[in-house]
Amino acid sequence: MSNVKAALDVIASKAPDFKAEVALVLGSGLGGVVDAVSDAIIIAYEDLPGFPRPTVVGHGGKLVLGRIGGVAVAVMQGRAHYYEHGRSDLMAEPLETLRELGAGRLLLTNAAGSLLPDAVPGSLMLITDHISLFGPNPLIGYHGNDRFVGMDVPYDPEIGSGLHDAAAKLGIKLFEGTYCWCTGPSFETPAEIRALKVLGADAVGMSTVPENILGRRLGFKVAAVSNITNLAAGMSATPLSHDQTLEMSKDGSANLIKILLQYFSSDV
Ligand code: HPA
């Protein structure tokens, strides 16, 4: 029995007949988004075969099923990162589980450093493209032609414009740009950030790209938003640390909750 089937059985036993429309993955410091979920059924990752055991403070390790603004959501409060285990495919089975649960859209969130001087900590950035040069592709070792995922439109423009509309209605500035996946867990050096700027990066972080690739292979429409917690290395005098990331995630997190509520309520 695959982990996916086993995880679906656990979900069916706790949330019979639940069908998801949207799968949401919450990044560091964004766990509070689950407070916006109504009729929540919470299942610990420990009880879900194939789901990660988060080792990172700020990643809750729970699957929350319920509704945001009337839309059925399956929210992963915490994800697996490449830097935790040296594997970039550890989100494959959870994402497949959520796809089997009915979700057609995958909304990824993360904490990120900004290379845009105007996108200061507390800002949000819609990811419109990404650079993945430093970690292994999560589909390495897969067989079949569906491993050759087209990446010409990596992020779904329709969801992106829905999120832009939601942000505009609320008067919240939503930056947009290219996210560069660096493996972490150490932060980048100032020289690396200068190099990434030349390559076209607008934000930098340690996640999201593997899930985008895995999710697109599964047929999800994928969108992603970065919660900017710092200017990237060398762009400000503030030393970077995970505590700083969590501390600075609060403003962006509060605005992201508002945008999601607005986005989902105009969706039904
Ligand atoms: N770099 C990488 N990951 C991050 C950063 C950063 O500056 N900020 C939050 N996550």
Ligand 1 in contact with 232 (CB < 6 A)?
Answer: yes
- Give dist(CA 92, CA 218) in Å, integer: 9
pLDDT score, position 198: 98
148, 153, 157, 159 alpha-carbon torsion, rounded to 10°:
30
pLDDT, block means (10 residues), the chain with 268 residues:
91 96 90 87 96 78 93 94 94 98 97 96 97 94 95 97 97 98 96 98 97 98 96 91 83 90 82
- CA–centroid distance for 183 within its chain: 15
**Residue 85 is a catalytic residue:** no
pLDDT score, position 127: 98
pLDDT score, position 59: 62
- Give dist(CA 120, CA 210) in Å, integer: 26
List, in order, residues 6 or more apart from 258 with CB less than 8 Å away. 170, 172
Q: How far is the CA of 163 from the centre of ligand 1 (A)?
A: 23
Say if residues 179 and 200 touch (Cβ distance below 8 Å): no
List, in order, residues 6 or more apart from 261 with CB less than 8 Å away. 36, 68, 69
Give the predicted TM-score (pTM) of the model: 0.95
Q: How far is the CA of 232 from the centre of ligand 1 (A)?
A: 7
- Give dist(CA 32, CA 36) in Å, integer: 8
Which residue from 52, 105, 140 is spatially nearest to 212, judged by alpha carbons? 105
Q: Which is it for the CA torsion 115, 237, 181, 243, positive or negative?
A: negative
Residue spans of the domains in the chain: they are: 2-265
**Residue 125 is a catalytic residue:** no
Q: Which amino acid is at 85?
A: H
Catalytic site residue from 84, 93, 96, 176: 84
Q: Which amino acid is at 148?
A: F
Total residues belonging to the chain: 268
Ligand 1 in contact with 132 (CB < 6 A)?
Answer: no
Q: How far is the CA of 101 from the centre of ligand 1 (A)?
A: 31
Q: Which amino acid is at 28?
A: S
Supply the DSSP string of the chain, one letter for each residue: --HHHHHHHHHHHHSTT---SEEEEE-TT-GGGGGG-EEEEEEEGGGSTT-----STT---EEEEEEETTEEEEEEES---HHHHT-S-TTHHHHHHHHHTT--EEEEEEEEEE-STTS-TT-EEEEEEEE--SS--TTTT--SGGGS---SS-S-HHHHHHHHHHHHHHT--EEEEEEEE---SSPPPHHHHHHHHHHT-SEEESSSHHHHHHHHHTT-EEEEEEEEEEEPTTSSSSPP-HHHHHHHHHHHHHHHHHHHHHHHHTT-
Ligand 1 in contact with 78 (CB < 6 A)?
Answer: no
Structure tokens that stand for 73 in this block: 């959501």
Q: How far is the CA of 207 from the centre of ligand 1 (A)?
A: 10
CATH architecture of 2-265: 3-Layer(aba) Sandwich (3.40)
Nearest-CA residue for atom 6 of ligand 1 = 113
